Copies of this chain bind each other. A is one copy, B any other.
C-alpha cells in the first residue's frame, strides 16, 4: 500500500511528559511532582467552568450544537466582530491545520521565525510545503521581508508573544510586516498568549480589530492559556468571511465536544478568572527574573505565562532538564529547537518554590 510521500518528512510533536508518567518512571509520589512544561494555567480550572461542566455532565451522549451559536456570539461580542468572522477549532492548533490544508501544496512554502511554535512546521510538512525560517527567533521586519521577497511563501506565521521564547513583537512592527506583504500571502497572527502581553505593555497588544481590514490576515486566539482550558481544546480564528468560509470546508463536523463547548462559553463570561490569573502570573514572573539575576543566567523578557532561561556553554540544557526530571520537576528543554535553554511555565508560588529549590540543588549551589 503506497502512502503519501509527505509522511516521510514529518516528525511527530513531542508533548510535555504527563505527571503520571514521571510517577511511574521515577517512582516519585505524585504530590512531589511539579509540571511546569506545558504552559497550563497554574490557578487551575475556573469555578464557573467547573460548574458548567458538572451541569452538562449528563449530556455526553448528545452531539454538540455544530453551529456553535452561543460561543460565536460570546466571541463576537468580546472582540466586537461579526459571527461570520469566526471559526472555532479544537485548539487554535486545529485552525492552523485548516489553514495549512486550505492554502498549501507541495509546490509552496511557508515562512516563520527561527524558533517558534512547532506545529506551524508540522502542519506545513503534512502538505509537503517547504519551510523557511528567519535567522532570529525575534520577529524582525528586515529578516521577514527579505525572506518574503526571496521565497514568496504562501503563509507567514507571526507568533506574538512567541512560543517557546516568550518575547513579543509590537503592534507597530506586526502591522509594518503586514503592510509590506501583498495579498497573495496569508499572514497568521498567532495570539495564543496575547492576554499576558496585553496586560504587561499595551504596545504589544494586537487583535482582530487591528487586522480585519486585511483580506489576507487571520488572528488566532485560544482558551488554553489565560482562560485555563488547556485540556478542553478550544481555540479560534478571526478573519474576513471569505477566508473563514474556505477554512470551514476543512472543518470536520462536531469538532468541539459538548463539554468543551459548554466550558468555553462559561469561560468567556468569567473575566475575573483571567484577570486573577494574570495578576498571580505577574507576581510570580518577577521571582523568576530575580532568581535568574541572582544566579547569573540570562533570560528572555517574557510576555507569556512562561519564561525561557538561556545558558552559556558551561551549562547544558539537556543535562539540566534530565536532572530536574529525575527529581520530579518537568520543564521544557529547548535543545530540539536549537537553543541551549529551558522553558519554564510560571506556576503557583508553591510550584515555583519547588522549582527553585530543585534547580539550585541540580546546579549544586
A360 contacts chain B at the CB level, 8 A cutoff: no
Give the interface segment out of A166-174, A227-235, A292-300: A227-235
Tally of contact residues, A, Cβ under 8 A: 74
Q: A38-B63, A45-B58 are in contact. List 16 more A-B contacts (CB 8 A).
A: A7-B246, A12-B248, A15-B253, A16-B63, A40-B63, A44-B58, A44-B61, A50-B60, A53-B53, A53-B259, A61-B230, A62-B231, A90-B252, A231-B259, A233-B254, A257-B259
Interface residues of A (CB under 8 A from B): 1-4, 7, 10, 12-13, 15-16, 18, 20-21, 38, 40-41, 43-45, 49-50, 53-54, 57-67, 69, 90-91, 93-94, 97, 101-105, 119, 126, 154, 183-186, 215-216, 228-233, 243, 246, 248-250, 252-255, 257-260, 263
Contact yes or no, A231 B253, CB < 8 A: no
* Given A90-B90, A249-B12; A63-B231 close (CB under 8 Å): yes
- A15 x B66 contact (CB < 8 A): yes
Shortest Cβ distance from A42 into B: residue: B61
The answer to whether B49 touches A60, judged by C-beta atoms less than 8 angstroms apart, is yes
Identical chains in the assembly: 2
CB <8 Å contact, A257 and B243: no
B186 touches A1 (CB 8 A): yes
A33 to chain B, nearest CB (A): 13
A44 to B62, CA, bound (A): 8
- Decide: A45 near B65, CB < 8 A? Known: A7-B102, A12-B248: no
* 7 nearest A-B pairs in the assembled complex, by CB-CB distance: A231-B258, A15-B66, A61-B228, A53-B57, A45-B60, A10-B249, A18-B65
A215 touches B1 (CB 8 A): yes
Chain B residue nearest to A186 (CB atoms) is B1
- CB neighbours (8 Å) of A260 from chain B are 257, 259
